[in-house]
Amino acid sequence: MQKRPESQSKPQLKSTTPSNGSQPSSVPSRAQQERTYALPDYRQEVSEITVRQVRKGEEVRYEVSGDLHAPVPPLRDSKYLSQQQCIAIYRFMVMNRKMETALEHLYKQGKVVGGVYFGLGQEACSCASAYALAKDDWFAPMIRNQGSLLVRGFRARDTMMQYMAKAGSPTKGRDGTSHFGDLYERNMVAPISMLGDLIPVLSGVALGARLQGRDIAVMTYIGDGGQSTGVTYEGINFASVQNLGLVLFIESNMWAYSTPSEMQYRNKDLAERAIGYGIPGVIVDGTDACQVYDAAHEAVERAHRGEGPTLIEAKMMRMKGHAIHDGANYVPHALFEYWKKRDPIARMENYLLHTRKWLTLEENKALLEEVEREIEVEREIAVNSPMPQPESALGGVYCEEGCHTIRPKYGVPKVRKGTGAFRQTEAAVHLK
Amino acid sequence: MPQLTYLEAIRQGIWEEMERDPTVFCLGEDIGIYGGAFKITDGFIDRFGAERVLDTPIAESAIVGAAFGASLTGMRPVAEFQFMDFIGCAFNQISNVVAKAHYLWGAPAPLVLRGPSGGYVHGGPFHSQNPEMWFVHNPGLKVVCPATPYDAKGLIKASIRDNNPVIFFEHKYLYRRIKEEVPEGDYVVPIGKARVAREGTHLSVITYAALVHSALEAADLLAKEGIDLEVLDLRTVAPLDRAAIVQTVKKTNKVIVLHEHARTGGLAGEIAAIINEEAFDDLDGPIVRIAGLDSAVPFSPPQEKFYLPKVSDIVQEARKLKAY
């Protein structure tokens, strides 16, 4: 691991001179051929930890190498966040974690249907990213972004009722977890379990808004595992070609279920993929809410200016198994120790209490208690809400007459028409 | 009234909807300046602009995903598949994102996915398929398969106005082979309603798309032998017009179900089950299936001809069933 100066890393790719040394006059000059790509890196530390499969006697296990005893760097001061905003993000992160802790308890009490998915260790990425969105922007969370939902105005009870498959859940029991949406107030597309599909969908949302005269930001997330899918490429490429305001967080949390990122991709950093799409790529420490916010804010501003998509890689570690059933015994213990010291909430708390002195111990205690009380109220409401009637499985397959009014969300598109009238085509027949 | 080909009727329908409704736009591969592989959108970009006639990368999942996303903002996208065979590339988007959206989270998705399908043109295994059953088995989608220019125009307009995802299968064999009088201006053909293409008394052929014309040809031949065929054109295969199916069975008491796609797991099986459930006592003979083979659609003309249902197959099966 090494400390990086403010100027950040700038990988440079240089074209090579032809092997025979000739320089035909038509070939651009050396200077023109030189390609320089900048990948802004907001991190205060760059860890060089790698995981690989090794045989130990009769067993094959994951082995970690790298400096696991490096000191934890301070948070990077945000260029944009005020004291009040930092505290607001911190509060969302605390609520995110307390909600998931409550869900863990509900699971152990047998009240959850299916499993529970956690964003432990990723709260800064979920909360600070969504906090950068404006009201008219859209987002779609993935399974571990339950904090994003809180930031966008959903209540903890919404997610809790989803997990308990209650009649009052946003999907009325039809789906669980963070799989719900809202087209009207919070502009959220419901995620599905298949990975990467939200990327073209969110790009389409931005396309729809642009046809209505608005450049909006559309934020979604993908993991280091999920980004392996083909639809991820299709979606980012579509947004790139059409210059749509996609803000894509690649949450590099080191483990895709049980598979380490070393077995998902060959690049050093997934942000490098941005070069291939011809769009800006940024690297942030996913456990530093200030860095996450700043990168998200800049990407959102770019989107609002109509300047196109941004890919942000947030580095962190998933601090639990894939879901509650998974003890993550395959993860080398030393990795948990390393990342535990980089807990996003503890880091933010320390920053607010000690570095900036923006919160007193008493204020922090009051904040934590208030969130605890709120989660308790939400939990009570969720637990006491009824299960759906069996026959409520019926209906709603189609949008029937009068069920929804379809209208352009940002205003009727202004159309510019050419003067050509409809004429019959005399085209060649493709297949005879 | 002008005579229009099936292809021109579809073109006119989309054009009129784009004139009428500024939220309608097209996207797809090569649909802009080139006008699409079959020229459905020829000249559209000049009239409606590059924003509303959007050329996309060769990325079917992105096309469907973007169409769905745009529909969530209240747009009405019409996405073209260059050939419907390629719809498989976007299967997850259609099946898991689009089709389930309204049932799961109340999101209406007013989009149309359209393109050429079907055989009889020696297109080979990847340009001749009828993949409609992949979507009939996907609750939440409407699947439309017109057989005539009049229906093609009325149904594409109805599909664009529908608040649900509609997969619109155009039959490429029909594009420029059939012509009929099609009214200029606005009319719609309702989705989900079958049409009796020929009244008859002895037995019913239930079919759709290009095979409606084969059934009508067979009916003319059989009429000379005194066999009176009724032809029911389904027009929409999801949701099926169960009432029309039952009605024709009650009338003729004998049924042939005819489709191009592979026999096993095909639409004929579903229709036979509907008849079994709702009109079993009205049957005077076994339900006969005439369908494509359980293989890919082969390329070479003699093989393709062998694979696909023919007029002579219908004539032969009708004779047997009449005599039963």
Q: Residue B313 maps to which CATH number?
A: 3.40.50.920
Q: Does B188 reside within a domain?
A: no
**B100 and B154 fall within a common domain:** yes
- Of B153, B181, B209, the domain-final residue: B181
Question: Minimum mean pLDDT among A49-63, A138-152, A414-428, B257-271: which range?
Answer: A414-428
What b/e readout covers B175-188, taking b as 16+ CB neighbours within 10 angstroms?
A: bbbbeeebeeeeeb
pLDDT band (50, 70, 90) for residue A427? low
Q: What is the SS3 assignment for B37-78? A: CCCCCCCHHHHHCCCCEEECCCCHHHHHHHHHHHHHCCCEEE
> Does B186 have pLDDT greater than 70?
yes
Name which of B96, B103, B163 is nearest A396 (Cβ-Cβ). B103
| Residues of B in Cβ contact (< 8 Å) with A204 | 65-72, 77
> Does A21 have pLDDT greater than 80?
no
pLDDT per residue as tens digits for the range B82-95: 999 999 999 999 99
Contact check, Cβ <8 Å, B65/A237:
no
Q: How far apart are CA A358 and CA A356, in angstroms?
A: 5
ipTM: 0.96
Active site residue B127: yes
pLDDT band (50, 70, 90) for residue A431? low
**B159 and B267 fall within a common domain:** no
| Residues of B in Cβ contact (< 8 Å) with A191 | none
**B48 and B17 fall within a common domain:** yes
The pLDDT assigned to A419 comes to 85
**B24 and B130 fall within a common domain:** yes
Q: Does B187 reside within a domain?
A: no
**B174 and B237 fall within a common domain:** no
pLDDT per residue as tens digits for the range A160-197: 999 999 999 999 999 999 999 999 999 999 999 999 99
Domain membership of residue B156 as a residue range: 3-181
Q: Exposure of A261 by Cβ count < 10 A (0-12 exposed, 13-18 middle, 19+ buried)?
A: buried
Mean pLDDT of A61-88: 96
Among A406, A416, A417, most B C-beta atoms within 10 A, so best to mutate, is A406
Q: Does B186 reside within a domain?
A: no
Asked if residues B244 and B190 have their Cβ atoms less than 8 Å apart, the reply is no
Q: How far apart are CA B54 and CA B37, in angstroms?
A: 14
**B141 and B199 fall within a common domain:** no
- Of B131, B157, B181, the domain-final residue: B181
Nearest CA in chain A to B140: A397
**B134 and B212 fall within a common domain:** no
The distance of A170 to chain B (nearest Cα, Å) reads 7
> Does A265 have pLDDT greater than 90?
yes
The distance of B31 to chain A (nearest Cα, Å) reads 13
Q: Which residue ranges make up each domain of chain A?
A: 69-385
Tally of domains in chain B: 2
pLDDT per residue as tens digits for the range B210-269: 999 999 999 999 999 999 999 999 999 999 999 999 999 999 999 999 999 999 999 999
> Does B196 have pLDDT greater than 90?
yes
pLDDT per residue as tens digits for the range A203-253: 999 999 999 999 999 999 999 999 999 999 999 999 999 999 999 999 999
The pLDDT assigned to B63 comes to 98
Name which of B8, B23, B121 is nearest A413 (Cβ-Cβ). B23
**B37 and B112 fall within a common domain:** yes
> Does A102 have pLDDT greater than 60?
yes
pLDDT per residue as tens digits for the range B95-119: 999 999 999 999 999 999 999 999 9
The pLDDT assigned to A37 comes to 83
| Residues of B in Cβ contact (< 8 Å) with A202 | 69
Name which of B43, B73, B102 is nearest A398 (Cβ-Cβ). B102
Please state which of the four CATH numbers 3.50.50.60, 3.40.50.300, 3.90.79.10, 3.40.50.970 is assigned to the domain occupying A69-385.
3.40.50.970
Q: Does B120 reside within a domain?
A: yes
Q: E strands within B85-216?
A: 112-117, 142-144, 166-171, 179-181, 195-198, 203-207
The distance of A117 to chain B (nearest Cα, Å) reads 20
Contact check, Cβ <8 Å, A430/B172:
yes
The distance of A161 to chain B (nearest Cα, Å) reads 14
Mean pLDDT of A299-313: 98
Name the maximum alpha-carbon separation found in chain A: 81
Q: Does B286 reside within a domain?
A: yes
Q: Which of B102, B122, B127, B261 is catalytic?
A: B127
Q: What dihedral do alpha carbons A290, A294, A296, A300 form, nearest 10°?
A: 150
Q: Does B190 reside within a domain?
A: no
How many interface pairs between A and B have CB atoms less than 8 angstroms apart? 208
Mean pLDDT of A71-84: 97
Contact check, Cβ <8 Å, A208/B71:
yes
**B70 and B120 fall within a common domain:** yes
Residue keyed to tokens 């080398």: A332
**B16 and B161 fall within a common domain:** yes
Q: Residue B104 maps to which CATH number?
A: 3.40.50.970
Residue in A243, A251, A272, A220 with CA at minimum distance from that of residue A40: A272
pLDDT band (50, 70, 90) for residue A38? confident
Contact check, Cβ <8 Å, B92/A231:
yes
> Does A10 have pLDDT greater than 80?
no
Amino acid at A246: L
Contact check, Cβ <8 Å, B97/A192:
yes
pLDDT band (50, 70, 90) for residue A28? low
Contact check, Cβ <8 Å, B175/A429:
yes
Name which of B47, B62, B77 is nearest A235 (Cβ-Cβ). B62
The pLDDT assigned to A239 comes to 98
Q: Does B276 reside within a domain?
A: yes
pLDDT band (50, 70, 90) for residue B285? very high
**B59 and B206 fall within a common domain:** no
pLDDT band (50, 70, 90) for residue A29? low
The distance of A392 to chain B (nearest Cα, Å) reads 11
Among A415, A417, A419, A423, most B C-beta atoms within 10 A, so best to mutate, is A415
The whole-chain average pLDDT of chain A stands at: 92
The pLDDT assigned to B184 comes to 84
| Residues of B in Cβ contact (< 8 Å) with A417 | 47-49
Contact check, Cβ <8 Å, B22/A201:
no
The pLDDT assigned to A14 comes to 41
> Does A104 have pLDDT greater than 80?
yes
Q: What percent of chain A has pLDDT over 90?
A: 86
Asked if residues A178 and A143 have their Cβ atoms less than 8 Å apart, the reply is yes
pLDDT band (50, 70, 90) for residue B13? very high
> Does A297 have pLDDT greater than 80?
yes
What b/e readout covers B141-163, taking b as 16+ CB neighbours within 10 angstroms?
A: bbbbbbbbbbbbbbbbbbbbbbb
> Does A288 have pLDDT greater than 90?
yes
The pLDDT assigned to A23 comes to 47
> Does A390 have pLDDT greater than 90?
yes
Asked if residues A180 and A190 have their Cβ atoms less than 8 Å apart, the reply is yes
| Residues of A in Cβ contact (< 8 Å) with B75 | 208, 211-212, 408, 413
Nearest CA in chain A to B51: A211
Name which of A231, A242, A425 is nearest B39 (Cβ-Cβ). A425
**B66 and B160 fall within a common domain:** yes
